[in-house]
Amino acid sequence: MGITHSFRRWYGWWLGACVLLIAAVLTFSAGVDFKSFEVRDQNGRVESIVMPYLAPGWGPGVYRIEGDVELDWFAARRYQIVPDDRLMELKVNDQVIDLSEIPSQSLQDVSQGFHVDLGNYLRTGSNKVSFTFRDFGGEMGMAMKRSLGDWRYLILWLLWGGLAAGAFVAALRKFGVSRSHSFFYFIIFVTSLTRVWYIVTYNPVNHIWSDPARHWEQGIDVLRADLMALTDPIGYQMYVALLAKFTLKIPALVAYCTILLSLIGPWLWYRFFRELQSSKTLALAGWAFLSFLPSWIAIYSYFMQETLMLPLLGAALWATWRCRRKADVSSFVLMVFLWIAAGLTRGIAIPLAAIACTWLWLLQDKKWSKALYSSLVLLLIMGPLTYRSYQTVAHFAPHGMGHLNVIYAQSGKKVIEIASRRGGASWVHGFGSPSTGAEPFKPFSDWKTQRTGKVRINVDLDKGMEDWSREMDAVDMSFSDYLWITKESLIFLFFAESWPDNNLARAVDVAGAAIRFIWAPLFIVILVGLLWHRKKFKGHWMLPAMLIAWFVVQALIPIAINEGRYRKPYEGLAVAQFILWIAVVRGLTRESAPVHRWWSAFAAAIARLRRYKIIVQEP
């Protein structure tokens, strides 16, 4: 045994040394050097520069930057080009690069630019590179950066990452941490650093457009009371308002707060996993997976409701299973409060909250105290919001008005246009869901929605539900319409890329787009596992019930046109269900507090009835 252990240690050291040598050789062979670069204008003015270049402009006009790029044999061939202001032409070794596939806005994106593969044009050694660009005023410049998505750098990342993982695990092993726990801690550490880097690099303040712009503007304009502000739940609007006031839109402070939110989300789900079952290893595996999950990283580059919803959902689930274990009044009230917060951020939390709170209230004792205090919390929060909605839109909508989404989803149309009025002010909004232009099965198929045309509605918000009811009645969705709308809803929910975090010029977004195909098969696997081990799940059906409720409400009820982004809560629930499945099979579940005596008596009566039926059916 001692000889085997010594051999393994000796072999491990030599393997590590070989990997280190290979990583060092490849790293020193991946050099890129920019030489003899100069900028010139149309009048012949020339000035030597250093790349990357950014300097006060010479006035609006067309300029050319050219010079030599020296490449080692393992240097990157894929690059990120960041122009200031608009790139017009790129030439490498006197060959014009085809930029027709690059979106027009990326050709003048002074923050992130675009990524392009130059492998067919660059060679080892000296390469002549020329940029022709237009400057609109202010600063001008050009940057050519090595793309982290280049396969050569992926190899370097894997080599150095493997070495770092080995060193990290070895260090934790010295403190008595198990090998598996050390590995998961390493994954969490690396992915947390990735989250920090991603948010610093792609700060949400640099991506204020479309839906992120709507959420940002609703937050900073706290008295805004137009149609969209009254349609969206108030929770995320309040978060953005606090964020804007605290940070004053200073990018570094916005990144700091967003980083904290991004890091605390997977940790809260880890706390939930610890309450869900008794194995720390399974909980750490779940934390590592959610921390790694690309779709849970990339979304934090945008002001979107999911950035707050995911941590709140994790916190509400933790409080739910904590209440299941403790069964006291304070834990029940905390659970109710967190579910209210989650529901005021995204409406899909409401059916999950209904199952969790009702389930535990029925099973546990102290019903009157729990009902009284939780109702008081509900009244204190939802009462003012109900009054607020009645004063602004003349009907009860404390969570926000969902009528617009329902009409759009059930109309079968591609675009919706709405004219609204309130208190003498009027607005006209028109938009289309990202799903109407998506190709959910890409790259395997170019299938798209069959939605066409435009639905137009006209509502006076001062009339309460009168105009909304008329417009919803006018939709008149037939059963055949429901079938194809639901079919598309399922397709978009399980297979569409998450929007807006689907910028395929970013490695994390590409990974998120690729991994999306696992979620539909995983849902089927979970259902089969539940049926196969249904007897072992006795006493642990609350989480499966919540998962099924999510599916029914989000996928089968046409209350909105589904998007890939709406899949994110399911991703966390699916991981939790998979962990619970393993725990149930291996006997690692946690016991709940004793159920209330009337529930025990009811269950016993049902059991006796079943036994009686079995007896009378015997010959």
In the chain, the percentage of residues whose pLDDT exceeds 70 is: 93
Token pair 């008005």 in the structure block, residue: 401
Domain 33-152: assigned CATH number: 2.60.120.260
The pLDDT score that the predictor gives to residue 618 is 37
- Write the CB contacts of 110 (distance below 8 Å, at least 6 apart in sequence): 82, 83, 84, 85
State pLDDT tens for residues 599-608.
555 556 566 5
Residue 468, token pair as written in the block: 């909304």
Decide: 549 and 355 in contact? Cβ < 8 Å. yes
Domain with CATH 2.60.120.260 in the chain: 33-152
- In this structure, the number of other CB atoms found within 10 A of the CB of residue 45 comes to 10
State pLDDT tens for residues 116-159.
999 999 999 999 999 999 999 888 999 998 887 788 888 888 88
Q: Residue 342 and residue 44: Cα distance in Å, rounded? A: 62
Average pLDDT, the chain: 89
The pLDDT score that the predictor gives to residue 601 is 54
3-state secondary structure 503-544: CCCCHHHHHHHHHHHHHHHHHHHHHHHHHHCCCCCCCCCHHH
The pLDDT confidence band at residue 305, using thresholds 50, 70 and 90, is very high
State pLDDT tens for residues 11-68.
667 777 888 888 899 889 998 999 999 999 888 889 999 999 999 988 899 999 999 9
The answer to whether residue 517 scores a pLDDT higher than 50 is yes
Average pLDDT value for residue range 187-196: 94
Question: 378: left (phi > 0), else alpha (psi -120 to 50), else beta?
Answer: alpha
**What DSSP letter does each residue of 277-316 carry, written as one string?**
BS-HHHHHHHHHHHHH-THHHHGGGS--THHHHHHHHHHH
415-422, strands of its sheet edge to edge: 425-431, 415-422, 454-460
Residue 312, token pair as written in the block: 């709140």
Q: Residue 198 and residue 508: Cα distance in Å, rounded? A: 9
Q: For 292, what's the count of Cα atoms within 13 Å in the CB-facing half-sphere?
A: 15
State pLDDT tens for residues 245-280.
999 999 999 999 999 999 999 999 999 999 999 999
Q: Residue 485 and residue 410: Cα distance in Å, rounded? A: 8
State pLDDT tens for residues 52-71.
999 998 889 999 999 999 99
State pLDDT tens for residues 432-477.
999 998 999 988 999 999 999 999 999 999 999 999 999 999 998 9
The pLDDT score that the predictor gives to residue 619 is 33
Strand partners, 92: 95, 129
The pLDDT score that the predictor gives to residue 606 is 60
State pLDDT tens for residues 542-587.
999 999 999 999 999 999 999 999 999 999 999 999 999 999 989 8
**What DSSP letter does each residue of 132-146 carry, written as one string?**
EEEE-SSEEEEEEEE
Widest Cα–Cα separation across the chain: 106
State pLDDT tens for residues 309-335.
999 999 999 999 999 999 999 999 999
- Virtual torsion, Cα 326, 332, 338, 339, nearest 10 deg: 110
193-202 per-residue burial string, b: 16 or more CB within 10 A, e: under 16: ebbbebbeeb
Q: Quick one: which of 549, 19, 62, 498 has its CA closest to 299?
A: 498
The pLDDT score that the predictor gives to residue 9 is 61
- In this structure, the number of other CB atoms found within 10 A of the CB of residue 93 comes to 14
pTM of the model: 0.84
The pLDDT score that the predictor gives to residue 600 is 57
Q: Residue 216 and residue 165: Cα distance in Å, rounded? A: 39
Q: Residue 105 and residue 210: Cα distance in Å, rounded? A: 14
How do strand 139-146 and strand 95-96 relate by DSSP bridges? unpaired
